[in-house]
């Protein structure tokens, strides 16, 4: 069913991924839920965005869910990068941001729903409200050496 009627992309996704792909290695770390990674790859392919990712890590294939740092470590290994030189961008504090922080990565929270982060959750290094804010944000960042 999901292959016959795949979800649509948020505004600016293709442009942002294409811009990032030209400058950085990109990885996708995703909880697969009820849809296996092999199907999610087909969906990403049909949407024209799979080509931008140098690696894809899905929970059903690695046996862990976010925020387990092993998911993020798998992507780091495949990309041949260190956590301190990596930024994870995600929209869920409890899984994306927590997992990135546990793996030692910087994090950017896309807070599209304008939620408040509570005191018990992991706090992102940076926040944006919409994906088009990501590219200008990255231009401002410097990485520790």
Sequence ranges of the domains in the chain: 13-140
Looking at residues 26-31, what average pLDDT do you find? 98
For the purposes of burial, counting CB atoms within 10 Å of the CB of 44, is it exposed (0-12), middle (13-18) or buried (19 or more)? buried
Contact 106, 87 (CB under 8 A): yes
CATH 3.40.50.1000, applies to 13-140: yes
Residue 36 scores a pLDDT above 80:
yes
What does pTM read for this prediction?
A: 0.89
Residue 104 pLDDT class (50, 70, 90 cuts)? very high
Tell me how far CA of residue 107 lies from CA of 7, 31, 61, 83, in angstroms.
25, 17, 24, 11
Residue 119 scores a pLDDT above 60:
no
Looking at residues 50-63, what average pLDDT do you find? 98
């Amino acid at each position: 069913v999901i292959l016959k009627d795949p979800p649509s992309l948020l505004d600016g996704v293709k442009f942002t991924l294409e811009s990032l792909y030209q400058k950085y290695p990109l990885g996708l770390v995703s909880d697969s839920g009820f849809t296996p990674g092999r199907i999610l790859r087909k969906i990403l392919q049909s949407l024209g965005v799979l080509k931008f990712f140098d690696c894809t890590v899905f929970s059903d294939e690695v046996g862990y869910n976010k925020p387990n740092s092993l998911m993020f470590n798998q992507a780091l290994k495949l990309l041949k990068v260190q956590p301190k030189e990596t930024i994870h961008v995600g929209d869920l504090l409890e899984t994306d941001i927590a997992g990135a922080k546990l793996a030692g990565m910087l994090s950017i929270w896309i807070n599209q729903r304008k939620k408040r982060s509570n005191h018990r959750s992991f706090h992102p290094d940076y926040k944006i409200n919409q994906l088009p804010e990501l590219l200008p944000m990255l231009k401002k960042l410097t990485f520790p050496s």
